[in-house]
Amino acid sequence: MNRRNFLRNTSAAAAGITILNFPVFGKDAPSNKVVLAVMGVNSRGNYLAKSFASLENTEVAYICDVEDGAIKNGLDALKEAPRKPRVVKDIRALVKQKDFDALLIAAPDHWHAPASILGVQSGKHVYVEKPCGQNPYEGELISKAYEKYGMHIQMGNQRRSMPTLIEAVKQVKAGAIGKVYFAKAWYTNNRASIGTGKVVPVPATLDWDLWQGPAPRTAYKDNIVHYNWHWFWHWGTGESCNNGTHEIDCCRWFLGVDYPTKVTSAGGRYAFKDDWQTTDTQVANFEFGNDKAITWEGRSCNNYPVEGQSRGFIIYGDAGTLVNDGGGAYKIYDTKNKLVSDVSTNVKAEANNLVSSTGNLDLYHFQNFVDAIRGNAKLTSPVNEGSKSVLLCHLANIAQRSGGLLNCDPSNGHILHNEDAMKLWRRTYEKGWEPVV
């Protein structure tokens, strides 16, 4: 491995420069231009719009949101772009437009799979932020859509495209730390209480019906939009899917496992007494037969670090250990805990950055998506692979909500012999909004 090249490339990424190479001839040809639309532009989607627009021969033609302040944020993010995007509030109308190639989705979780399916059914490629579904059923549904409609669907687990981690996986599979058998991941934060919401009139700036979309209708409360929906089961998926997806995905990637045989979870809403429904403290364990296991610790309201980092993962082998810093950097130790390899990047991970915890290292993932659209690359995280990691997070939540223990079919992750848990495999939908493939 050439450590100097990693440092040089990640320095370029930190400067916002496209760091993957195009063929020299014809790279700016109109036929190579990738035209995009972005759904959900208040926070992460705002960053997606600006970042994708900065890539060579790529432009944003549309932004889609249902709240006026978010729309302004999206337009402001693209004010320096050569093309001024059109605003279309209804995703159903947006996907019918013929003059764009791909849909980027950073809307709330309950929209991820339904919007992705609408996109590919309309002939659009899709980049969807994690999780790729609000429940396990939607993960299966979006994977089915990926196979059926022949369009690219990339999930936003961006570590899959980081050159340092791609190289690290190769080293581990080649035996750098011996036989790997256990992985540990964690995420910590110091989130405040969300209080007790009051039913109030819907703000004139928000289309509450479109915001809810496929979710059954509820009264509007003043502590849901923009961010706190994450902590309500009706729309969100808790911290395990919100942030745990990234490191749990890396653990699964490094261990080379797919579906678990057993899942356990312990935790609860401990820090505050408020409307927050999901866990703020959770320890989930995933067993893969008798050979390998993963554990994830999430602490949303206590940010004391693990290994000096607010997020990250560790891979344990019988000949050494690999420790990740929450971004693209890692260290390898031998069995006597002596440091034998130290690979860093010039982009320091910011664990609790709500827009991008891994900074412009994300550009590798974005570039991979547009390169795949052009036919120059394979997706590093197609949704039928990314959904396996999201399923682990869903299973952790289902275990937590149904007694703490699940036995699973190792061929597909389905829950065995637990009717109460199986009721949480899918959600109910607002009439007329159920996604169909």
Residue with tokens 């007694």: 403
Same-domain check for residues 168 and 63: no
Please check the confidence at residue 112 and state whether its pLDDT lies above 80.
yes
Same-domain check for residues 136 and 231: no
Same-domain check for residues 263 and 301: yes
Please check the confidence at residue 94 and state whether its pLDDT lies above 60.
yes
Phi, psi of 84 (to 5 degrees): -85, 120
Same-domain check for residues 417 and 350: yes
Q: Which two tokens stand for residue 290?
A: 């008798």
Domain span at 311: 162-196+220-355+380-422
Same-domain check for residues 308 and 229: yes
Same-domain check for residues 178 and 135: no
Residue 29 is predicted with a pLDDT of 57
Residue 359 is predicted with a pLDDT of 77
Task: Grade residue 90 by pLDDT with cuts at 50, 70 and 90.
Answer: very high
Give the model confidence (pLDDT) of 261-313 as tens digits.
Answer: 999 999 999 999 999 999 999 999 999 999 999 999 999 999 999 999 999 99
Same-domain check for residues 154 and 170: no
Give the model confidence (pLDDT) of 319-342 as tens digits.
Answer: 999 999 999 999 999 999 999 999
In a domain, 329, yes or no: yes
Report which of 210, 214, 208, 203 is spatially closest to residue 64, judged by C-alpha positions: 210
Q: Return the axis-axis angle of helices 245-255 and 163-173, rounded to nearest 10°.
A: 30
pTM here? 0.92
Q: Are 199 and 177 in contact (CB under 8 A)?
A: no
Return d(Cα 332, Cα 321) in angstroms, integer: 6
Please check the confidence at residue 17 and state whether its pLDDT lies above 70.
no
Same-domain check for residues 187 and 123: no
Same-domain check for residues 112 and 242: no
Residue with tokens 């979870």: 265
Give the model confidence (pLDDT) of 392-409 as tens digits.
Answer: 999 999 999 999 899 999
